[in-house]
Structure 1
């Protein structure tokens, strides 16, 4: 937050001096004024990131000043300082959009905490940015944390090369956003960025999606289809959840990476492709290599450079920024006049566990935006959204994998471990059913009544 500009309004010269010294000592740039009229003149000359005003002022009071500010700058946060006699007015003002109020005498640390939250919410104190060029390539990544700064510095360095990058991180941590940022910072930025989730496409369709097919290659192939490698020619292909790619297809992908040639399904010859590969996974590929579900040679091809994304819990200083960013977008989407979070609501966000990472935070903010009826989101709405079951923040791939395993377990229990009967019930051939069982670490013996019982 350091370096943000704060306009302080108070007709008590001693308090104005004290506030200015305290905020300047915290790294803020302060402009002090003694009246609402003078504050509006200063505001016309330069828009600050926050206004801190006493309620009782000569001439226009703090509430009238807030109304004038809101008419000109709807998103500019205003904090009111109030004596006990004006608390009802200040409380009423928060329902109209004042960020919050503090009663005199106020705690210095509490004041700094509220100001820091307000500026983060407003999102305008971006003095830590690296300039327009850097912001252009990483514009979609909202962060000021040191952990993310390190990742982004490495991402920018590797973007200049053509090396394959493996992006590791938990589900919902922003792997695709980092891949897009690398592409935008690379010499290939003028060419396509094509993303495919390897776990979301059925195995029998994934090969055709990646490599393409020719007309008549299989039932339903009524026309030539170029595939995603050819669609990304000259640019970047992002293989999300690469750890979920079937082993048989891993062999074909490795051949494409080695030869830089792709042969569509049903074609008699291969065509050259010029594609940079970025991939991502939430799985431990080292363990996948040990259990045979991921090829070591493909791993080395993809993992020339590795980037590891922190969880949201490891970058908590970014939560107010992300919450404000999502709130602004979603308020526009839902047509809501919501401009911030109450201080206790923001505290609840910053201290939550966030097992679903940034995706879960987005879901929570979306829910509270849709239900909010006041300019500031209250604590009760945030607490309600945080109690949503974790299934709400599962990625499609995670939900599909969980259902698939539970489905197989159910069939094998019903058939007492008889794979032929289970495959028939699933309307799948026995070879395919065995492959699905292997994928999920299931064996028939676990389900036979004369053996151990499945979980």
Structure 2
């Protein structure tokens, strides 16, 4: 076998149990790696100073120091060191703490030889595709594909860059329309997996009885309607990133299988008897409060702690200051080019209005407003008269001697309309009141979120067709 290591490529193994130390070292040796094994933190530090090993396998619990303290010393000496933490099942919370402190990945005992070798290969791959240091320039302060330079977004960019070299699971939270999928794409694009697939799956848009098949796949004949084999999202993302949006919408039974997948890196398609190994990084997102969902019994606590390794919160548009103007002017120019119109900015009164609006639908709402303006007008500046009436809170009609009309459609607005039109008006008004959140609107209307997603998709096709 061709040796895949160099003197600088020696793997440093720090494990205080002699039998496990021998098993891990033997497996790595058979795969062609050179290994230096230690049983204490002191020995490990001495060997690290001598070798500066780029890949370290580190047991969480050592007799003379904690793994966290030792790892912090390693990273202070060489920030590019890839440390894979070895932990028992009862210490996962501490392993998660180490991931947040800079560890690359963690392995939960017991694990097999293939899982060990996959962790080492992931670490080596991260070193080969290390993100280069960015220059200290104004252009480097914005991370594509985002727009905006506010301090709130700078914190997001830094979090994304810091997690890029890690295999840590990322948990993105934020209101609907804040750009959680863009965040997931940015994490993938800046990681060592950028050349691999990025597979996005909206857990709230798929009926519960089909969700397991969508995630893990199925074999032909495994259930009614399974007329052919299907590769699920987890297998399609092999070598890349799987993004699970609206993760809190996932059925509890499927949450159990997702937890097993995270622990073993194996999937079993519906109808299959043998599991399959896959190499996938998980990123998930929700617009709910995940801890509140845990308290309500809607989300497994052990799965939450397994997924909530590196949290990233997307700030609402109203908290991003001048970003709203930068986004608006960038997008209106881009959309105008697509529509064959000419727009190159906003008039001053529109700028002031945009700064002061609460934007309950966040960036998605802003983009929809601008699309409406560009399609119906020619420019060159976006004026207040071009904006939809509901953006002017001071222009709501009132009858003399009466209170203000309630927002949304009244009975007089529904007369003469078809049932399909009324259904659309009610759903769109409910979405508006919930800031564009499909799950919240679905709960109020007592329908599944997937029903609303399908109707939105159908309406979008009607409007563009």
TM-score range, shorter chain: 0.5 to 0.7
Count of aligned pairs between the two proteins: 279
Number of the residue aligned with 1:370? 375
* Residue 168 of structure 2 is aligned to residue 168 of structure 1: no
Deviations 1:35-60 (A, max 9, x none): xxxxxxxxxxxxxxxxxxxxxxxxxx
* Residue 286 of structure 2 is aligned to residue 262 of structure 1: no
1:221, distance to aligned residue in structure 2 (A): 0.8
Number of the residue aligned with 2:194? 189
* Residue 321 of structure 2 is aligned to residue 316 of structure 1: yes
Deviations 1:251-296 (A, max 9, x none): 1111111110000000111100100000111111111111110000
Is this contact kept in 1: 2:360–2:435, CA < 8 A? no
**Correspondences of 1:64-103 after superposition (within 5 Å):** none
Is this contact kept in 2: 1:331–1:338, CA < 8 A? yes
Deviations 1:154-186 (A, max 9, x none): 111011100001011111111110110010000
Is this contact kept in 2: 1:368–1:385, CA < 8 A? no
Number of the residue aligned with 1:402? 441
Structure 1 pair 408–220 and aligned structure 2 pair: CA distance change class (3 A): closer
SS in 2 for 1:316: coil
Is this contact kept in 1: 2:267–2:275, CA < 8 A? yes
CA distance in 2, matches of 1:302, 1:400: 21
Is this contact kept in 2: 1:172–1:395, CA < 8 A? no
CA distance in 1, matches of 2:436, 2:235: 25
Number of the residue aligned with 2:138? 128
Deviations 1:341-392 (A, max 9, x none): 1111121112111111111111111111112233111112236362596656
Number of the residue aligned with 1:349? 354
Deviations 1:425-453 (A, max 9, x none): xxxxxxxxxxxxxxxxxxxxxxxxxxxxx
Stretches of 4+ aligned residues off by more than 3 angstroms: 387-401
CA distance in 1, matches of 2:258, 2:246: 14
CA distance in 2, matches of 1:176, 1:407: 26
SS in 2 for 1:377: coil
CA distance in 2, matches of 1:352, 1:402: 22
1:308, distance to aligned residue in structure 2 (A): 1.1
CA distance in 2, matches of 1:270, 1:260: 10
Is this contact kept in 1: 2:347–2:383, CA < 8 A? yes
CA distance in 2, matches of 1:332, 1:395: 32
CA distance in 1, matches of 2:230, 2:308: 29
Pairing partner for 1:339 from 335, 344, 354: 344
CA distance in 1, matches of 2:169, 2:190: 14
Is this contact kept in 1: 2:176–2:435, CA < 8 A? no
Deviations 1:183-238 (A, max 9, x none): 00000001001111111111011100000000101111111111000000000000
**Correspondences of 1:389-428 after superposition (within 5 Å):** 391=430, 398-399=437-438, 402-403=441-442, 405-407=444-446
CA distance in 1, matches of 2:432, 2:139: 30
Superposed CA RMSD in Å reads 2.4
Name which one, 1 or 2, has greater alpha-carbon Rg: 1
**Correspondences of 1:149-228 after superposition (within 5 Å):** 149-228=154-233
Structure 1 pair 395–333 and aligned structure 2 pair: CA distance change class (3 A): farther
SS in 2 for 1:148: helix
Number of the residue aligned with 2:391? 386
Gaps in structure 1 of 5+ consecutive residues: 1-125, 410-455
Structure 1 pair 190–164 and aligned structure 2 pair: CA distance change class (3 A): same
CA distance in 2, matches of 1:359, 1:394: 15
Structure 1 pair 194–394 and aligned structure 2 pair: CA distance change class (3 A): farther
Number of the residue aligned with 1:56? none
SS in 2 for 1:191: coil
1:397, distance to aligned residue in structure 2 (A): 8.5
CA distance in 2, matches of 1:304, 1:249: 20
Number of the residue aligned with 2:149? 144
Is this contact kept in 1: 2:430–2:441, CA < 8 A? no
Length-normalised TM-score, structure 2: 0.57
The worse-fitting range, judged by mean Cα deviation, of 324-333 and 310-319 is 324-333
CA distance in 1, matches of 2:431, 2:439: 13
SS in 1 for 2:242: strand
CA distance in 2, matches of 1:222, 1:147: 49
Is this contact kept in 1: 2:333–2:342, CA < 8 A? no
CA distance in 2, matches of 1:367, 1:397: 17
CA distance in 2, matches of 1:196, 1:151: 22
SS in 1 for 2:200: strand
